[in-house]
Structure 1
Amino acid sequence: MLPNQPIPIITLPLFPELDRLLLELLQSLTPADWQRPTLAREWTVQDVAAHLLDGNLRTLSMLRDSHFGEAPADASYAGIVAYLNRLNADWVRAARRLSPAVLIELLAQSGREYTAYLNTLDPWAPAAFAVAWAGESTSLNWFHLAREYTEKWHHQQQIRAAVGQTAPLMQPALFQPFIETMMRGLPHAYRAVAAPVGRLVQVAVTGNAGGLWELARTAEGWQLQPPGAATPATTVALAPADAWQLFTKGLSALDARERAQVAGDEGLALAALRMVAVMG
């Protein structure tokens, strides 16, 4: 790692384990399980599984094979979100023609190719797509990979929540890289929050799989820093199950506030509870 570069979040070795757990889960589901509703709005378990397949195929097509297909007409953040939402909806609707067995087979094959491609990337080279929810206009590949990990993690967890099998992804080895990546979005979430220089906010995710993050208001803006001895103006503590749902739009800020433990400046806490670490 070169001087002044951010500490990377290592996720690449975890993709095969995520895929193994996903395939094991999907192979155990009953026909009724595949039609259960999920936290992903109108999507069923089958729809979310199809969306995960789309993620594999889209990465292989665009990044490995340089086939980008239809380009968004509007390159703004809102325009790209609308474009992605339409692509996702079109794919999921068409994939309802596929059987669970076909989806599992395609996920297994494409998952292997997807991970093989990720292993060809230089982690310190510029990524093809920036992590926009963290406020970046350009990102390094290691952060792109971490973002991809959060996508695979939270969509699998949506399936698991629907069938009551969330525990495997909550183990520290899998959850900590997920939540650490989410928290890299905090400075961007606070970008419009006014506070004196030196003001501190701490966000905690409880339990042995969680952690503690400190956000400081500097002359340049809000920045993450290692937790220190100074007393924060605000502390926000979330349970792991609430944290992953909140930051992926599965739990509203209002509901999260009722469950969170907040001390200090209530206004400073709200920005953390409104953070969204997915495109949307």
Structure 2
Amino acid sequence: MDASFVVPIPTLHLFPTLDRELIALLKSLTPEEWKAPTLARLWQVKDIAAHLLDGNLRTLSMLRDGYAGDPPGSIHSYQDLLDYLNGLNASWVTATKRLSPQVLIELLELTGRQYTDYLSTLDPFAKAAFSVAWAGETESLNWFHIAREYTEKWHHQQQIREATRRPGLLSRELFYPFIATFMRGLPHAYRNTTAENGACLKVTVTTDAGGDWFLIRQEGNWILVETYSGKPSASLFIAPDTAWKLFTKGITPEKAREKTAITGDAKLASTALGMIAVMAAR
């Protein structure tokens, strides 16, 4: 196969596994655990489950069936888009408070399969309906859109696991595609950071589930690569449990700094702690 047609971060095959893990998790929860607070702040466990259902239904309605519902109005900026999405999310969570946990589980089982079936019909190298805005893209390919959707499902399930003290999804099979997708946001996170040509930041997500990524300054731009033979200007070492919480706004950059190690240019490395790989404002 031509290397140019190899999906950089394959995730589609993992959706059924992620869904099975989610359903088993939700079926194991006690009534009290459904009400547990989460890192999503305003949302309890049940609210996150409802949000995951919304993701399935919205994709099937809008992208599979071509039904958009009420138009979003004027969106001229990232903040406009953020406000619109926050409004959609809040109204859905409010409406689904009348649904029982059992109904949510049944609907997640049904729509999860339909959702994955729809994603499998997409040409991974065709233009996606929605760009990955947190990576600074105004147009994205479907493979990146699918990987972004994987990170959404992964981190929301992880929030439920964290809230209910269940084992996390930190195997290499499930975690590495998640964090590799998030690392695609580094060039955008550094867009306002200047450095000498050739400067290099090495980001290491520790344990066997993680990996190394290199952000290199070239001709006024930041380029993300996975191999680099030179000496980095700065290195950041971060554990998986800290990384997923930081990049989804579960903890602050200040709190994350206490749990990370930096060598070399500390200012250059610290900028990475401000990266957000979800649709949110820091």
Please indicate, yes or no, whether the TM-score normalized by the shorter chain is above 0.5. yes
Q: Could you tell me the percent identity over the aligned residues?
A: 58
Instruction: Give deviations 1:129-156, integer Å, cap 9, x for gaps.
Output: 0001111111110000000000000000
Gaps of 5+ in 2: none
What is the CA-CA distance between 1:271 and the residue it aligns to? 1.5
Match of 1:185 in 2: 185
| Cα deviation digits, residues 251-280 of structure 1 (max 9, x gap) | 111101111101111211122000000011
Distance (Å, rounded) in 1 between the aligned partners of 2:130 and 2:6 = 18
Distance 1:183 1:74 in 2: 30
Q: TM-score, normalised by structure 2?
A: 0.96
Q: Distance in 2 between matches of 1:210 and 1:151?
A: 18
- How many pairs are equivalent? 279
CA contact (8 A) 2:10 2:147 kept: yes
* Equivalent residue, structure 2, for 1:84: 85
**Could you say which residue in structure 1 is the equivalent of 2:256?**
256
Q: In the aligned structure 2, how far is the partner of 1:6 from the partner of 1:14? A: 17
* Secondary structure at 1:224 match in 2: strand
Alignment-derived partner of residue 72 in structure 2: 72
Aligned counterparts of 2:152 and 2:121: Cα–Cα separation in 1: 20
CA contact (8 A) 1:248 1:278 kept: yes
Query: Is contact 2:131–2:139 with CA below 8 Å preserved after alignment?
Result: yes
Instruction: Tell me the distance in 2 between the aligned counterparts of 1:5 and 1:78.
Output: 34
Q: Compute the displacement of 1:220 (Å).
A: 4.3
Instruction: Give secondary structure in 2 for the equivalent of 1:47.
Output: helix
Q: Deviations over 1:222-262 (max 9, x none)?
A: 00123322111111010100000001110111101111101
> SS of 1:170's equivalent?
coil
Matches within 5 A, 1:1-280: 8-75=8-75, 76-167=77-168, 169-280=169-280
Deviation of 1:3 (Å): 6.6
**Equivalents in 1 of 2:248, 2:123: separation in Å?**
28
Q: For residues 151 and 211 of structure 1, what CA distance do their matches in structure 2 show?
A: 20
2: distance between equivalents of 1:152 and 1:3? 28
CA RMSD of superposed structures (Å): 1.3
Assess if the C-alpha contact under 8 Å between 1:133 and 1:185 holds in 2: yes
The CA deviation string for residues 38-83 of structure 1, in whole angstroms up to 9 with x for no partner, is 0011100000000000000000000001111122223221100000
Q: What is the identity, as a one-letter code, of the residue corresponding to 1:267? A: K
| Amino acid in the other structure paired with 2:251 | L
TM-score, normalising length from structure 1? Answer: 0.97
Q: Distance in 2 between matches of 1:97 and 1:195?
A: 53
Deviation for aligned residue 1:166: 3.1
Distance 1:28 1:38 in 2: 17
Q: Report the AA paired with residue 17 of structure 1.
A: T
For residue 65 of structure 1, what is the amino acid of its counterpart? D
CA distance in 2 between partners of 1:279 and 1:71 (Å) = 19
Give the Cα–Cα distance (whole angstroms) in 2 for the partners of residues 233 and 7 of structure 1. 30
- Answer yes or no: is the 8 Å Cα contact 1:202–1:212 preserved in 2: yes
Letter in 2 for 1:83: Y
